[in-house]
Amino acid sequence: MLTKKLQPDDSTAEANQSQFYMSSSKEFNWENFETKGFGEGYSKEQREQMAAMYEGTLNEITEKEVIKGVVVGVNDKDVIINIGFKSDGLVPLSEFRDVAGIKPGDEVEVFIEEQENALGQLILSRKKAKIVKAWQDIESALEHDSVIEGLVKRRTKGGLIVDIYGVEAFLPGSQIDVKPIRDFDIYVGKKMEVKVVKINHANDNVVVSHKVLIEKDLEKQKAEILNNLEKGQVLEGVIKNMTNFGVFIDLGGVDGLLHITDISWGRINHPEEVLQLDQKVQIVVLDFDDDKKRISLGMKQLTAHPWDSLAANLEIGSRVQGKIVNVADYGAFLELAPGVEGLIHVSEMSWSQHLRNPADFVKVGDEIEAVVLTLDKDERKMSLGIKQLTEDPWTKGDMSTKYAVGTKHKGVVRNLTNFGLFLELEEGIDGLVHVSDLSWTKKIKHPSEFVKVGDELDVAVLELDVENRRLALGHKQLEENPWDTFETVFPVGSVHKCTVVSKNDKGAVLELPYGLEGFATVKNLEKEDGSQVEVGEALDFRVTEFSKDDKRIVLSHTATFREEAKAAKKAAAPKKKGNESVDMPAPAEKSTLGDLDALAELKEKMEGKK
């Protein structure tokens, strides 16, 4: 409840009355004044004048502002506060939980919500006063760029929530420190100095930064480091970030890059194999640009190069042991010691002339033995081989007898070319089968018409040259040359049933018995009715040319009916004796029948051989 300040015994009222008496003593006779009770004895005019003087002793207050007041009383629920107004205000005791032992006489700041509500009470709030005051302090901190202390209450998405003056402010993760922060929880519950960097009044949002405080401290340190920076200088830094190509190291406000190749003399796939985030490391300055914005660092350079400590007896031909650390398309790298590697080219993995993928022979992590082929300690290069661990098949003692001319073998087709195919008889022993040595009867333009890669093929050795590592092979030589027999089967003038396989502007390819092919020119494809022979037709053709050496047979369909017609006409012509004409039809008919019988006999003979 509020206490009305209208009692005449109030010290303020007495003072006002004294002043009133002094100022009005000239205006009326004190002897005529009679006191009959409280408030009596004053004229209306005098009472108005005294009330005006009384009102002048009260403060003028404005709603929605913060004002200081004095605690005049405390009970179980409320705190009574005098702000110099005509009535005291009440503030719930719960708003003073942060104050230990609130008592009369204490001075506090309160927010005036209403001068007088419907019940005539003065409405005050300390909670709102704190909020208003907090915002005033926050705005002042932003305006004057001052440092304030806050308490980290909790973590949130993307940063932390910091309590400053009772207002929750957002501290982004990127503004916590100059280095990336991976665990925000370590800051919760701790005090932290920050600066206000942004205020959004529309949403009552405040953004603060701790990073700006650190950056200022680092500026001096950074300038000192850059001024004294020089190549070869050894520094201490903290690993700030890791990537697959290297790590960024904080040198004290200055970042430098330690490339993955400069971490260790040995081969590593990722920096995390040997380093950790936030780890302190010793590094050496390798290089930097004119502006000193890009600084290259090294770690392996702090130790001696492992090539300098190689065994003195290591030489060409030595056998070495190591681990495969990388496999590429062209070969594999064998690590003999950290930082000492040799290349095993794919051609040095097998005696086979057909290069395969290095992954077919080795894989990363394999520990194998190899032979040193070349060694250059000055250039720090070494080439190795693993096929040298086994004997070269071309130098074996039985090579000349095993692959003597005429011997028969079976191999695997490894490669096809326009002129033939390469056949692998064993690991490291390859031979060439020319396209002309594939078949006696078929004209093969490309080996792919006969075989495919991976097929097995029987061959005979045609030529052996051990010194030059050459081996000529043939497939058709496994059988006798059938052209010796074809010379008697397909003599010039003989007629055979042939199928037209293909045609072009020069003529047609014919399929003969025994899988042979023949050729007929365009003019020899004319039928008896004047039309042309078409692809797929099977007709009689007469052999007009046979070449055993060139393996060529030329035929004609036109000749079959023209020769028969010519022979018949010749047989039917009468013989002349003197001036007389002699008609001899009988001999002509006999001759024609004889020719037909001979052709039929030849055809039966050929069909019988089939």
At 452, list the tokens. Answer: 């495919």
Cα 50 to Cα 45: distance, rounded to the nearest angstrom: 9
Q: What angle (nearest 5°) sits at the alpha carbon of residue 609, between those of residues 605 and 610?
A: 120
Nearest CA-CA partner of 407 in 445, 462, 361, 446: 462
pLDDT at residue 203, rounded to an integer: 79
Whole-model pTM: value is 0.42
pLDDT at residue 568, rounded to an integer: 60
Phi, psi of 205 (to 5 degrees): -105, 140
At 433, list the tokens. Answer: 């089968």
Query: How distant, in Å, are the alpha carbons of 73, 111, 242, 476, 609 from that of 126?
Result: 15, 6, 51, 112, 126
pLDDT at residue 350, rounded to an integer: 86
Instruction: Return the residue matching tokens 């033939």.
Output: 420
The radius of gyration of the chain from alpha carbons, rounded to an integer in Å, stands at 58
pLDDT along the chain (610 residues), means of 10: 39 42 42 47 65 53 71 84 77 78 81 70 78 83 88 90 88 83 86 88 85 78 78 89 91 86 87 90 88 84 84 86 91 89 91 80 92 89 91 84 90 91 89 88 85 92 89 87 77 90 91 85 89 90 87 89 69 55 40 43 49
Q: What angle (nearest 5°) sits at the alpha carbon of residue 552, between those of residues 462 and 561?
A: 160
Instruction: Give the number of other CB atoms < 10 A from CB of residue 574.
Output: 12
State the DSSP string of 295-359: EEEESGGGS--GGGG--TT--TT-EEEEEEEEE-SSEEEEEEETTEEEEEEGGGS-S-SS---GG
pLDDT at residue 299, rounded to an integer: 92
Q: Hey, is 70 helix, strand or coil? A: strand
At 83, list the tokens. Answer: 């702000």
